[in-house]
Structure 1
Amino acid sequence: MVGTTVEWYDFFIYAFAANLVFQQLFFAPAGPEVGQLAALASIGLSFLFRPLGAFLAGHFGDRLGRRPMLVITLLLMGTATVAVGLLPTFETIGIAAPVLLILCRILQGISAGGEWGGAILMAVEHAPEGRRGLFGQFPQLGVPFGMLIASGVLAIMQAVTTDEQWLSWGWRVPFLGSIVLILVGFWVRRTVEESPVFEEMQSLKVRESAPIAVLFKTALPIVIFAALIFAGNNGVGYMITGGFVQGYASRPTDAPVPGLGFDGPAVQIAVLCAAAMWAIFTAVGGWLSDIIGRKNTYLIGYGVLAAATIPLFELVKQGPLMIGVAGCLLAIGLGLTYGPQAAWYAEAFPASVRFSGVSISYAIGAVIGGAFSPLIAQWIMNTFDGNTWAVIPYLLLLIVVAVFGTLMMKDRKDIPLTSQIEIDGTWQKIMDEPAKK
């Protein structure tokens, strides 16, 4: 949970800054509207590299262990984040500035693509039977906690700096401050024990030489459906976690890309409250899935998320207080469709290709869902003269896609997680022969 919090603090700081200042600092020559779209596109660009991170971490995580990948991805994310805080702007070094910014974002995407799978497997594969949903929600909590810290730091920096100071150096402080969190996360991840399931795989020599090839040969439909169940959560969630609502709410009404002109720190505090609610219902979702099953929890969660999506922007327009209300309503559905994900993904794949399976499914789902949802939402608003109602059908479509994936996925709650292969639709334990046989 600590390591995942650090990873996602770094990820969210970039998304929030892209909505607030990157158009002016890195993409200004493109013009206000195109520059804002370019800044939002840079958020989504990292998602395209998540599958690469998932492939690399999955391959080596299934062969070398879960723990080494956790340490490597944490350091990669941290290095890229601190580098963003040190970058000169377009005014200083010209076109090299956005090029270097995008390179840092790509490194963040590779890290995020590999980090999540290792984190959730370390939690779920240590869990006692019947409590995987509860244990699996801890690394999931790192995402709302990362957003909570990111929102809090940004609120403080916007409150203590003038507009000129904020654009000059204030936005850099949250990026540079990441180094403290990285040191803490590195220490924690270095001391955690390797997954008992991976240790059993080593002792029984149940390892695939090419786990990704085996995954696609034997479990491609599972990868697809698992990716779809995440698309709705990630796409709708990125209206807030991707910084779109914050940018829309706090940009001045007379800006080239107009917003609502609300007080920036007040907006960030409202989002902070939503992040706290997201954390609470992520924990509830993991716990509830141990009782009623992963699929049932997801279906309830997506029903709540759809209901909260419809009035989202109308509430946002009422001011920071109602932004907090809208975010908290959204957070209930987001939590219920995020808390059980670690356990459901882990139970969907056999041990020898599990790291690859969960990482690649998560990465593909993120590409389908959240990768470009802020960009698409802004493009829709530009096309329909700022009409936020035009964005709602797009978000509801993502939820429909996710519900389809949920209905197609098997619920294998409490299935053994030790070294297995699938035979006739059920996992069977392998005692002394490689899984490929």
Structure 2
Amino acid sequence: MESPDDHKATRMGQVAAAALIGTAIEYYDFFIYGAAAALVFGDVFFPELGTTGKLLASLSVYAVAFVARPFGALLFGHFGDRMGRKAPLVASLSLMGLATVAVGLLPGFAVWGWWAPAVLVLLRICQGVGLGGEWTGAALLIAEHSPAKQRGRYGAFLQLGPMIGFMLAQGVFLAFRFFLEEEAFLEWGWRMPFLASAVMVLVGLFVRLRIAETPLFTGRTGLVDKQPPAVEVLRSHWRTVLLGCGMITVGFAAFYLTTTYALAYATKWLAVPSTVFLSMLLPSALAAIAATLVSARRSDTSGRRRILLVAVVAGAVWALVFFPLLESGRWPLMLLALTGAMTAFGCGAGPVASYLPELFPTRVRYTAVALTYNLGGVTGGALSPLIAAKLTDAYGSAAPVGWYWAALGVLTLVCLWRLPETSGADLAEPWPRHGPAGSGRPT
């Protein structure tokens, strides 16, 4: 006969699996655009621009989704705090899947002219809005089901979702790029990863519809609030939102500089075959997964803030050698550059899924965490590849990008210094009660 502890562990396993699978699918949808932007979208949708112009145009459309994500955060956050965590997760996954399949069916510039990139921007906005509520809903699904002393451990499963989605996206593009000729890949091969999303989204919806609402939401008091959650967040929690945004900015920048921008830079400027670089990204993603698992578990015992501080310092130091290693042209050194950067990223990513929910009270947690996370996506994920492209074009080398990356690390350290320790926080409290090592309420 199953004991209560066994039943609880089984339930947590199901919740973690639902969060991981759904998030992996959503981020697969998001990341295949990044690979396509680096490899083909310049030729398909912006053929009349020069080499740098095509890349900047593709990356600009890529950045549009990050700008749209805070709007998705406010939209899904409102309903997540009023109606529950589960419904926005289903809606965000559906919106993301429909937009992704539509990109795969979109005619190129040769057929639709400038209407093609215009519709691409619209679909990218839909992707951003959908992703704006995804990560937060999954994070709260885990955090509000988890035991306080194991919140980091279970939160690691959520953080694996983006990495698995990234590996799926890179692997699918690598396969089509490897087996198809250049002309066939540009004509129709790049569309297949987008169309395949339809099947994966159906699987994700099936899994998520079977998960129950979180007990903290169903058991809370004061279900009818006098003001919208966003209003309370902006009035009472704006400092924590800004500090949290600054805290995760470098993580977004590190990931997208290492993957999307480095892929474009290596293939366009360094003449590295795309199949080679995509092959090197896959083992580096495995290193990030391992680092994520270790750092998330350690954050339950050593504290979220301490683990994040160590990860940020390591990442800032590695940023200064990343591009020199990449520009060496030697494949072992390039693999070392990618693996080191992704390992540092994983160390910082591990505690985030438990750290951000612990900073805010239940009644506005969805809105506050979604806004914090997605504003960090704008400052780190949207702007960094564009700034990197401009710096490289201006200086003829990507080395200055490393200093920009390290400077973002310093910003993160300042924000972390002002944020409290939260491991062991009681999320059922009107305001999360921080653990023994904490410093009280967020600033």
- Give the TM-score normalised by the residue count of structure 1: 0.92
Choose the corresponding residue for 1:113, options 132, 138, 156.
132
In the other structure, the counterpart of 1:287 is 297
Q: What amino acid sits opposite 1:250 in the alignment?
A: T
In the other structure, the counterpart of 2:265 is 248
Distance 2:252 2:380 in 1: 5
Q: Does 1:60 align with 2:79?
A: yes
SS at 2:356's partner residue? helix
Q: Does 1:341 align with 2:352?
A: yes
SS at 2:55's partner residue? helix
- Give the TM-score normalised by the residue count of structure 2: 0.91
SS at 1:240's partner residue? helix
Choose the corresponding residue for 2:242, options 202, 214, 224.
224
Q: Does 1:322 align with 2:333?
A: yes
Q: Does 1:387 align with 2:397?
A: yes
Q: Does 1:47 align with 2:57?
A: no
Distance 2:44 2:431 in 1: 52
Q: Does 1:214 align with 2:232?
A: yes
In the other structure, the counterpart of 2:47 is 28
In the other structure, the counterpart of 1:139 is 158
SS at 2:382's partner residue? coil
Q: Does 1:273 align with 2:283?
A: yes
Distance 2:209 2:333 in 1: 42
Post-superposition shift, 1:277? 1.1
Q: Contact 1:63 / 1:209 at 8 angstroms: preserved in 2? A: no
Q: Contact 2:65 / 2:128 at 8 angstroms: preserved in 1? A: yes
Pairs within 5 Å for 1:71-150: 71-150=90-169
Post-superposition shift, 1:419? 4.9
Distance 2:326 2:432 in 1: 48
Deviation readout 1:271-322 (Å, 9 max, x if unpaired) = 0111111111111121111011011000110111112211112222334443
Post-superposition shift, 1:247? 1.6
Distance 2:49 2:306 in 1: 47
Q: Contact 1:208 / 1:353 at 8 angstroms: preserved in 2? A: no
- How many residues align? The count is 417
> RMSD value over aligned CA atoms?
1.7
Deviation readout 1:24-72 (Å, 9 max, x if unpaired) = 1101223332222111111111111111000011111000000001110
SS at 1:370's partner residue? helix
Distance 1:340 1:423 in 2: 18
Choose the corresponding residue for 2:274, options 245, 260, 264.
264
Pairs within 5 Å for 1:3-18: 3-18=22-37
Q: Contact 1:86 / 1:172 at 8 angstroms: preserved in 2? A: yes
Post-superposition shift, 1:215? 1.3
SS at 2:126's partner residue? helix
Distance 2:432 2:331 in 1: 51
Q: Does 1:161 align with 2:180?
A: yes
Q: What amino acid sits opposite 1:111 in the alignment?
A: G
Structure 2 portions without partners, runs of 5+: 1-19
In the other structure, the counterpart of 2:318 is 308
Pairs within 5 Å for 1:342-357: 342-357=353-368
Post-superposition shift, 1:217? 1.3
Structure 1 portions without partners, runs of 5+: 252-258, 428-437
CA gap 1:208/1:413 in 2 versus in 1, 3 angstroms: farther
Distance 1:44 1:398 in 2: 18
Deviation readout 1:110-150 (Å, 9 max, x if unpaired) = 11111111010001111112111111111111011111111
SS at 2:350's partner residue? coil
Percentage of matched positions with identical amino acids: 35
Post-superposition shift, 1:16? 1.1
Deviation readout 1:337-390 (Å, 9 max, x if unpaired) = 111011111110000000011100001111111112111111111111x21112
CA gap 1:208/1:406 in 2 versus in 1, 3 angstroms: farther
Q: What amino acid sits opposite 2:333 in the alignment?
A: M
Distance 1:134 1:327 in 2: 26
